[in-house]
Amino acid sequence: MSVYAAAMASLPDLADLRLLVDVARLGSIGAAGREAGISQQSASERLRGVEARTGLVLVRRDPRGSSLTAAGRLLVDWSLPLLAQADEIEGALRTLREGRSKELSVWASMTTAEYLLPSWLVRLRRDSGVAASLRATNSEAVLDAVRTGEADLGFVEGPGDLGGLATRVVGHDDLVLVAAPDDMWARRRTSLTPAQVAARALTGREAGSGTRRAVEEALAAAGVGSPEAEVELTTTSAVVAAVQAGSPPAFLSRRAVDRDLESGRLVEVRVDGLDLRRVFTAVWVGRAEPPPGAVRDLLGIAGREARRTT
């Protein structure tokens, strides 16, 4: 037998390595067997087979449970990257079997959906041949859609409950307070304080909006409450149009109002003492490493664009 063949003969298969990892994680052979869908007796026999194959004692058995020997712990440490790679390959093969033409469902909060994702999705289709549907909504709805599986991938702005989701920051943004040119705040020569902002009813987004939550948290951090909303609207473009038409000032993404500020259709109102910087975050269900295929391809495009614009 060649050296290579001898080495392969002593190497446990992936299922047996996973069983050993589960013994370490769960603390008993019976629990590891249940995780694998086999009986405790079958699990114990398989582990004895691994010990015979490797020539090492890997599991210490006693009435209170099972623990790994030093050799067992080493084998588990060596096995974890191999098992992660195997999962990766399995996911990639599944993607190939299903075909890359399957439509990717993307949900995004308004600023990301209107100002970032269209170009990303065009590039995804051009580079990978993947069609994607995009639904624009508020951040809370995006997170709900990802958790329920309605969305394959979501993008949210600013703070939010990201518990149980894998995340990746894909960009940054600043909120600015804007007013119509004839608004009383547009003519100010000095910056507003947080208290002055909170004292006036503003034009705002609906509950669940990432923009609204970012403003509320910034004001709370400054020690003041949130302003009342004279009008609540569900899209960024509607807020821009309302303010231009004479509605009270509003906090909006700088990306959304850059051209209006340059043209003079809106005026930026300076505010001191508020941290209005926020992040754009991609969210999905699963491991920290995004699944292979369309989700990873789109996140790669987002990452490259973020590096290019910073």
Averaged pLDDT, 281-294: 89
Shared domain check, 112 and 94: no
The set of residues, in sequence order, having a beta carbon less than 8 Å from that of 281 and lying 6+ positions away, is 155, 156, 157, 160, 162, 167, 168, 169, 170
**3-class SS at 14?**
helix
Question: What would the two tokens of residue 154 be?
Answer: 């979501």
Same domain, 122 and 59: no
Q: How confident is the model at residue 301 (pLDDT cuts 50, 70, 90)?
A: very high
The boundaries of the domain holding residue 75 are: 3-98
Structure tokens at 260: 């209006």
Q: Structural domain tally of the chain?
A: 2
pLDDT band at 43 (very low <50, low <70, confident <90, very high): confident
Nearest to 221 by CA among 158, 163, 269: 158
Comparing 80 with 3, which gets the higher pLDDT? Answer: 80
Tens digit of pLDDT for each residue in 90-125? 766 666 555 544 679 999 998 899 889 999 999 999
**Who wins on pLDDT, 228 or 220?**
220
pLDDT for 241 equals: 95
If asked whether residues 119 and 242 sit together in one domain, one would say yes
Q: Are 173 and 281 in contact (CB under 8 A)?
A: no
The Cα 89–Cα 118 span in angstroms is: 30
Q: Are residues 30 and 117 in the same domain?
A: no
d(CA 76, CA 242): 61
Residue 252 token pair:
């909006």
Q: CATH number, domain at 256? A: 3.40.190.290
Nearest residue to 155 via CA among 104, 100, 198, 112 = 112
Q: What is the DSSP letter of 184?
A: G
214 and 74 within one domain: no
Phi first, then psi: give them for residue 124, nearest 5 degrees: -60, -45
Q: How far apart are CA 92 and CA 291, in angstroms?
A: 8
Q: Tell me: the pLDDT tens digits for 10-37?
A: 678 888 888 888 888 888 888 888 988 8
pLDDT of 45 higher than 80: yes
Confidence band, pLDDT 50/70/90 cuts, at residue 2: very low
Q: What is the CATH number of the domain that holds 10?
A: 1.10.10.10
Find the mean pLDDT for residues 122-131. Answer: 89
